C-alpha cells in the first residue's frame, strides 16, 4: 500500500507541475465569471428611443406609450416573482401578486401591482424577511423610451419626412443621442391602415409586436364601431384575452426552467466528470508513455509490482481529477455564499439537491467509480504505446466511443427528456452509466435504477481492473510493433506470469 | 550462505528457450561477472532474480528469500536500458527510488544529497533531469541504484553508453561497495571490465552455462603459452606440445613461442629445463586474456549469440 501511495504522490506531483494543469484549473472559475457577466455585456444598458409623430389626434401615441409602460411593469412583476421564488421570500406577503408564481400576469394584474406601490412597496415588505446574504431585487430597465417630437419635425409634411428624420436617426452632433425608431401615424389613420416606420437598424421583434398590437386593436375597434357596435363594446371586444395559468411541476415532471435550476448540480457533475477525466486521463497517458519511451519501467518494476504501479497511477490520476473538482466546487461555493449577484443567484438554488444524503452518496459513488472505470482505459493505452503517436491510434476511437453518446445524452437531458430508449441504453451500458445517472439525477431517476446500475458499474469496473490489469502488466515490458486485437485479447487472457 | 543462487532455472518465451537449466550461486562480498554475448540470457536471468519475470521452472533464492519486492530495500539495480523522469529534479528522482525501496523520506533525501555530492553534482541537485547533460543523468541513474546502500547490487551491462569518466566512476563504486562487504553481480559482454573487477565469472551462451569459476580457473581452461629464449628447440622438453621459432634474439640464441600440453603448469616445465640443463636466457609465461578464454569456451561473441 505504501508503494501505491508513493507512486500516486509522484503522479500527482508530476501532473501538478505542468503549466497546462494550472491553466485548465483556472478555466472553469474563469468561465463562471464570464458566464455571470456575459448577460450584462450582451444586454443593452439603454432603452431604445422611440419618437411617435401622431398626426391622427395623439391617441395612438398615448396608447403606444401606455403599452410600453404596461409591458415594462409586467416584466418588473415577472422578474420580482422569480426573485421571490428563488429565495423563498413568499412570507413577505403571501397574498401579493409577486408571491404567486403559477400564473401569467394579465394587464389588470399589472395595474393592481402598480396601484399597490410597485417595486418600492414590494421591496419594503421583502426586506423584513430577506436574509442578509440575499441581494436586493433590482428592477429591470425599460426596453423603450418615448422621446418628444421636436418642432423641426412636427411641421414637416409627411412626404418630406424621409429626409428630415435622418437628422434624428443619425445626428451629426457628437453629443446628440440618436433616436432608434421614428413612427409616423398619418392623419387619415383609421381610414387607411398605413403607418410608416424609420429605424436606424433592424427593428426588434418586441417593438414591432407591441406597436402592431396597439394599432391593430385600434383599427379593429374602429371597424366594429363603423359596423354598428357601440364604441365601448368595440373597445372591450378588442381587449378580450385568455387568462393563462402556468404550472411548473417539481423535477421529475419536466418543465424546462425548473429542471435547469434545480438539476444543474448533477448535470454539472456529469460535465465535470467528463472534462476532468479527459484531461487527467491524457496526462496520465503521457506519463505512462514517458515511462515506456524513457526506458524507466525496468527500474521502477524492480521496486514495485505492476499492480502497485497501476493502482498508484490510478490513484494519483483520480487524485488530480478530484483535486480539480474540489477547486472548482470551492470556487462555486465561494461564488454562491461569499458573493452577491447573478452567479450567486444561479448557483445557490442549484445546491438544493445536496440536502439529501442519498443524492450526495449517489453523486460521489458514480463520480469516483466512473473515474476509475474510464481512467484505466487510458492507463492500458499508455502501457501499450511506445510514443504519444502510437497512443493516438488507440485514443481517438476510445474518446469517440465515450464522448459521442454523452453529447447526445446531455442534449436529451437539457431538453427535459429523462426517458427514451437512448437514455435508458446509456444508463445501463457501464461505460456511459456514470455520465447518464449523474445527468439524470436532477431530472429524477427511479431509486431501484440507481442502485441496479451502480451494482452493474461496480461489477464492470472489477472485471475491467482484472482484464486491463493483465493487459497493463503484459504490455509493460513488451517491445516491438503495436499489438493487434488478437494480441490485446491474448494479453488480457494471460494469467499473471 | 550464498547471497544469490539459481537452481536449474529455465525460462521459455513461447518456443524460445532464453535460459536453459541454469544453476549458480554467488557468495557474499564477491564481484560476480555474468558474461555472454547479446541474447545469451543475461538480462532474462537478472530480471528473474528481480521478480520482473518468473522462471518457467527451477528455483531462485535471493538474500535467503524468494525473488520479490520484499527484497527491494536490500537490492540496487541498474538496468541496461536506462531512463529517468525528465521533469523530476535529480535529488527528487534519487529520493523517489529510495522511498520505493522502503527508505524514510528524510533518509532518502539525505542519502541522495550525499551521493550527488560524491558524484560532483551537488550544485545540480535541484535541476530537472531534462536539463542535465547525458553524463550527469548517468550519474543520477547510478545514484538511484545506490541510494539504499544495497547488500546486493545488480548491474545489467552497466558500462554500456557510459563515457570513460563515468566508467571509471562506476568501477570505483563497485570496488567501494565490494570493500564494504556488498555483493555485486553484473552482466557484460566487455571482457576488460570483468577482467579488472570480477572475483568470479559465469560464461553464458544461448542460455546455457559454459563456465563458472575464478579468473585464474578460466585462464587455466586455455593451454599455457611461454615466450622462451633458448639455444635449442624446446619442443623436446617434457610437457611442451609445440615450439615455434620466432627468429634470432641475439647471436647464438633464438626466440621460441612455446605452447604447453593441456593441464601442464609452466613451473613444471621450468623445473624440467633446469633438471635437463637446458640453457635458457628467458622463460616468460604469457597470460591469456579473458577474451581469449571466452572465445575458447563459447566461440566469438558473435557466434555465441
A303-332 pLDDT, tens digit each: 998 888 888 988 888 888 888 888 888 887
Question: Is-contact A67 A208, C-beta < 8 A?
Answer: no
Q: Which residue has the higher pLDDT, A481 or A262?
A: A481
Whether A252 has a pLDDT exceeding 50, the answer reads no
Give pLDDT tens digits for A124-181.
899 888 888 777 888 888 889 999 988 888 888 888 888 888 888 888 887 888 889 9
3-state secondary structure A428-483: HCCCCHHHHHHHHHCCCCCHHHHHHHHHHHHHHHHHHHHHHHHHHHHHHCCCCCCC
Contact A303 B101 (CB under 8 A): yes
Interface of A with B in 302-361 (CB under 8 A): 302-305, 308
Q: Which three cell numbers stand for residue A405?
A: 453518446
Low-confidence winner among A144-148, A348-352, A488-492 (lowest mean pLDDT): A348-352
The rounded percent of chain B whose pLDDT value lies above 70 is: 98
* pLDDT, mean of residues B180-205: 88
Give pLDDT tens digits for A380-414.
888 888 788 888 888 888 888 888 888 888 777 77
pLDDT at A254: 37
- Looking up cell 419536466 gives A254
Provide the pLDDT confidence category of residue A263 given band limits of 50, 70 and 90: low
Give pLDDT tens digits for A200-221.
888 888 889 889 988 888 888 8
Whether B304 has a pLDDT exceeding 50, the answer reads no
Sign of CA dihedral B31, B34, B38, B42: negative
- DSSP string spanning A376-420? HHHHHHHHH-SSHHHHHHHHHHHHHHHHHHHHHHHHHHHTT---S
Question: Is-contact B285 B226, C-beta < 8 A?
Answer: yes
What ipTM goes with this model?
0.81
Whether A249 has a pLDDT exceeding 70, the answer reads no
pLDDT at A102: 66
Percent helix / strand / coil, chain B, rounded to 5: 35, 30, 35
Provide the pLDDT confidence category of residue A65 given band limits of 50, 70 and 90: very high
Contact B53 A497 (CB under 8 A): yes
pLDDT at A251: 45
pTM of the predicted structure, to 2 decimals: 0.69
What CA–CA distance (Å, rounded) separates A473 from A283? 20
pLDDT at B166: 83
What is the bridge-based pairing of β-strands B152-156 and B183-188? parallel
Q: Is A299's Cβ below 8 Å from some Cβ in B?
A: yes
Contact B85 A308 (CB under 8 A): no
Provide the pLDDT confidence category of residue A255 given band limits of 50, 70 and 90: very low
- Which residues fall within 8 angstroms of residue B194, CB to CB, at 6 or more apart? B33, B35, B188, B201, B290
- Which residues fall within 8 angstroms of residue B18, CB to CB, at 6 or more apart? B11, B12, B41, B44, B207
* pLDDT, mean of residues A263-275: 74
Sign of CA dihedral A440, A445, A447, A453: negative
Provide the pLDDT confidence category of residue B146 given band limits of 50, 70 and 90: very high
Whether A474 has a pLDDT exceeding 50, the answer reads yes
Taking alpha carbons only, the member of B161, B174, B9 closest to residue B76 is B174
A298 closest CB neighbour out of B75, B79, B87: B79
Whether A257 has a pLDDT exceeding 60, the answer reads no
Q: Which residue has the higher pLDDT, A271 or A15?
A: A15
Taking the CB of residue A479, how many other CB atoms lie within 10 A of it? 7
What CA–CA distance (Å, rounded) separates A473 from A383? 8
Q: Is A94's Cβ below 8 Å from some Cβ in B?
A: no
pLDDT at A347: 66
CB < 8 Å to B79, chain A: 295, 298-299, 302
The highest-confidence range among A255-264, A325-334, B137-146, by mean pLDDT, is: B137-146
Rounded to a whole number of angstroms, the distance from the CA of A28 to the nearest CA of chain B is 26
Q: Which three cell numbers stand for residue A244?
A: 393563462
3-state secondary structure B152-195: EEEEECCCCCCCHHHHHHHHHHHHHHHHCCCEEEEEECCHHHHH
pLDDT at B108: 95
Q: Which residue has the higher pLDDT, A190 or A353?
A: A190
Whether A260 has a pLDDT exceeding 60, the answer reads no
Low-confidence winner among A274-283, B27-36, B107-116 (lowest mean pLDDT): A274-283
Contact A299 B82 (CB under 8 A): yes
CB < 8 Å to B81, chain A: 295, 298
Tell me how far the alpha carbon of residue A174 is from its chain's centroid: 40
Which of B99, B128, B160 is the best substitution to test chain A (most A C-beta atoms within 10 A)? B99
What is the bridge-based pairing of β-strands B57-62 and A181-185? unpaired
Contact B85 A301 (CB under 8 A): no
Contact A298 B97 (CB under 8 A): no
Question: Is-contact A382 A398, C-beta < 8 A?
Answer: no
Provide the pLDDT confidence category of residue B200 given band limits of 50, 70 and 90: very high
With residue B232 as reference, give the H or E element that holds it. Answer: none
What CA–CA distance (Å, rounded) separates B81 from A299? 9
Q: Which three cell numbers stand for residue B101?
A: 525501496
Instruction: Tell me the C-alpha to C-alpha distance, in Å, between residue A401 and each of A246, A316, A414, A476, B234.
Output: 41, 25, 21, 25, 86
pLDDT at A40: 61
Chain B residue at shortest CA distance from A16? B87
Q: Which residue has the higher pLDDT, B20 or A447?
A: B20
Q: Is B69's Cβ below 8 Å from some Cβ in A?
A: yes
Contact B52 A477 (CB under 8 A): yes
Provide the pLDDT confidence category of residue A343 given band limits of 50, 70 and 90: low
Q: Is B82's Cβ below 8 Å from some Cβ in A?
A: yes
Which of B51, B57, B83, B160 is the best substitution to test chain A (most A C-beta atoms within 10 A)? B83
Provide the pLDDT confidence category of residue A258 given band limits of 50, 70 and 90: very low
Question: Is-contact A211 A76, C-beta < 8 A?
Answer: no
Q: Which three cell numbers stand for residue A176?
A: 446628440
- Mean residue pLDDT of chain B comes to 88
Whether A281 has a pLDDT exceeding 70, the answer reads yes
Enumerate the H helices of A130-203 as residue ranges: 151-154, 161-164, 166-169
Question: Is-contact B186 B33, C-beta < 8 A?
Answer: yes
Q: Is A479's Cβ below 8 Å from some Cβ in B?
A: no
* pLDDT, mean of residues A56-66: 87
pLDDT at A23: 87
Question: Is-contact A340 A348, C-beta < 8 A?
Answer: no
Provide the pLDDT confidence category of residue B74 given band limits of 50, 70 and 90: very high
pLDDT at B257: 92
pLDDT at A153: 83
Question: Is-contact A365 A450, C-beta < 8 A?
Answer: no
With residue A71 as reference, give the H or E element that holds it. Answer: helix A59-86
Taking alpha carbons only, the member of A119, A27, A37, A130 closest to residue A346 is A37
Taking the CB of residue B54, how many other CB atoms lie within 10 A of it? 13
- Mean residue pLDDT of chain A comes to 81
Amino acid at each position: 500500500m505504501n508503494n501505491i501511495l508513493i507512486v500516486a504522490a509522484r503522479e500527482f506531483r508530476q501532473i501538478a507541475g505542468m503549466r497546462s494543469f494550472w491553466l485548465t484549473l483556472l478555466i472553469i472559475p474563469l468561465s463562471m465569471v464570464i458566464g455571470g457577466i456575459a448577460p450584462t455585456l450582451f444586454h443593452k444598458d439603454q432603452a431604445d428611443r422611440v419618437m411617435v409623430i401622431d398626426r391622427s389626434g395623439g391617441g395612438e401615441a398615448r396608447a403606444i406609450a401606455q403599452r410600453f409602460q404596461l409591458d415594462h411593469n409586467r416584466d418588473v412583476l415577472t422578474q420580482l416573482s422569480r426573485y421571490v421564488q428563488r429565495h423563498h421570500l413568499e412570507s413577505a406577503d403571501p397574498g401579493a401578486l409577486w408571491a404567486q408564481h403559477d400564473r401569467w400576469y394579465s394587464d389588470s394584474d399589472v395595474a393592481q401591482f402598480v396601484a399597490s406601490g410597485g417595486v418600492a412597496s414590494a421591496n419594503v415588505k421583502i426586506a423584513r424577511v430577506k436574509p442578509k446574504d440575499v441581494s436586493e431585487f433590482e428592477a429591470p430597465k425599460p426596453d423603450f423610451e418615448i422621446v418628444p417630437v421636436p418642432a423641426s419635425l412636427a411641421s414637416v409634411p409627411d412626404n418630406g419626412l424621409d429626409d428630415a428624420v435622418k437628422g434624428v436617426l443619425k445626428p451629426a452632433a457628437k453629443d446628440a443621442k440618436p433616436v432608434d425608431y421614428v413612427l409616423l401615424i398619418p392623419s387619415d389613420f383609421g381610414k387607411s391602415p398605413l403607418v410608416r416606420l424609420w429605424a436606424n437598424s433592424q427593428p426588434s421583434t418586441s417593438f414591432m409586436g407591441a406597436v402592431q398590437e396597439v394599432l391593430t386593436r385600434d383599427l379593429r375597434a374602429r371597424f366594429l364601431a363603423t359596423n354598428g357596435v357601440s364604441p365601448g363594446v368595440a373597445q372591450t371586444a378588442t381587449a378580450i384575452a385568455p387568462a393563462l395559468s402556468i404550472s411548473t411541476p417539481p423535477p421529475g415532471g419536466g418543465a424546462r426552467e425548473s429542471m435547469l435550476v434545480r438539476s444543474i448540480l448533477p448535470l454539472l457533475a456529469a460535465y465535470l466528470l467528463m472534462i476532468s477525466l479527459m484531461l487527467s486521463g491524457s496526462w496520465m497517458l503521457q506519463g505512462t508513455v514517458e515511462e515506456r519511451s524513457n526506458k524507466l519501467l525496468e527500474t521502477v518494476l524492480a521496486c514495485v509490482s505492476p499492480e502497485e504501479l497501476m493502482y498508484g497511477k490510478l490513484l494519483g490520476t483520480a487524485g488530480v481529477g478530484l483535486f480539480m473538482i474540489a477547486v472548482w466546487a470551492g470556487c462555486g461555493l465561494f461564488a454562491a455564499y461569499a458573493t452577491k449577484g447573478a452567479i450567486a443567484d444561479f448557483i445557490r438554488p442549484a445546491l438544493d439537491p445536496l440536502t439529501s444524503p442519498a443524492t450526495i452518496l449517489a453523486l460521489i459513488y458514480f463520480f469516483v467509480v466512473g473515474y476509475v472505470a474510464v481512467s484505466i482505459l487510458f492507463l492500458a493505452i499508455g502501457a501499450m504505446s511506445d510514443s504519444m503517436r502510437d497512443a493516438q491510434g488507440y485514443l481517438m476511437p476510445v474518446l469517440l466511443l465515450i464522448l459521442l453518446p454523452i453529447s447526445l445524452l446531455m442534449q436529451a437531458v437539457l431538453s427535459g427528456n429523462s426517458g427514451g430508449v437512448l437514455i435508458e441504453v446509456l444508463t445501463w451500458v457501464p461505460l456511459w452509466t456514470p455520465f447518464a445517472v449523474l445527468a439524470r439525477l436532477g431530472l429524477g431517476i427511479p431509486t431501484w435504477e440507481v442502485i441496479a446500475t451502480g451494482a452493474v458499474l461496480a461489477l464492470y469496473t472489477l472485471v475491467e481492473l482484472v482484464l486491463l490489469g493483465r493487459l497493463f502488466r503484459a504490455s509493460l515490458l513488451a517491445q516491438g510493433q503495436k499489438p493487434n486485437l488478437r494480441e490485446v485479447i491474448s494479453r488480457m487472457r494471460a494469467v499473471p506470469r | 550462505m550464498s547471497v544469490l543462487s539459481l537452481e536449474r532455472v529455465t525460462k521459455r518465451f513461447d518456443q524460445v528457450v532464453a535460459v536453459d537449466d541454469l544453476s549458480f550461486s554467488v557468495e557474499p562480498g564477491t564481484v560476480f561477472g555474468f558474461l555472454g554475448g547479446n541474447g545469451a540470457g543475461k538480462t532474462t536471468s537478472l530480471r528473474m532474480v528481480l521478480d520482473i519475470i518468473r522462471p518457467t521452472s527451477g528455483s531462485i533464492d535471493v538474500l535467503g528469500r524468494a525473488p520479490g519486492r520484499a527484497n527491494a530495500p536490500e537490492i540496487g539495480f541498474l538496468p541496461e536500458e536506462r531512463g529517468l523522469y525528465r521533469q523530476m529534479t535529480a535529488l527528487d528522482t534519487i529520493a523517489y527510488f529510495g522511498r520505493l525501496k522502503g527508505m524514510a523520506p528524510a533518509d532518502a533525501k539525505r542519502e541522495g544529497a550525499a551521493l550527488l555530492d560524491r558524484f560532483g553534482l551537488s550544485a545540480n541537485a535541484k535541476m530537472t533531469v531534462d536539463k542535465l547533460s547525458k553524463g550527469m543523468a548517468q550519474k543520477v541513474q547510478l545514484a538511484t541504484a545506490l541510494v539504499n546502500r544495497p547488500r546486493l547490487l545488480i548491474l545489467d551491462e552497466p558500462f554500456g553508453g557510459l563515457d570513460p569518466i563515468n566508467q571509471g566512476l562506476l568501477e570505483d563504486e563497485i570496488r567501494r561497495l565490494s570493500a564494504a562487504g556488498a555483493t555485486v553481480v553484473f552482466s557484460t559482454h566487455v571482457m576488460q571490465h570483468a577482467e579488472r573487477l570480477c572475483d568470479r565469472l559465469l560464461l553464458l551462451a544461448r542460455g546455457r552455462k559454459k563456465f563458472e569459476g575464478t579468473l585464474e580457473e578460466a585462464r587455466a581452461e586455455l593451454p599455457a603459452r611461454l615466450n622462451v629464449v633458448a639455444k635449442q628447440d624446446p619442443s623436446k622438453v617434457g610437457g611442451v606440445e609445440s615450439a615455434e621459432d620466432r627468429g634470432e634474439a641475439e647471436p647464438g640464441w633464438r626466440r621460441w613461442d612455446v605452447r604447453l600440453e593441456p593441464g601442464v603448469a609452466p613451473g613444471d616445465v621450468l623445473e624440467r629445463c633446469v633438471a635437463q640443463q637446458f640453457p635458457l636466457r628467458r622463460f616468460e609465461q604469457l597470460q591469456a586474456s579473458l577474451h581469449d578464454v571466452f572465445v575458447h569456451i563459447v566461440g566469438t561473441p558473435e557466434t555465441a549469440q
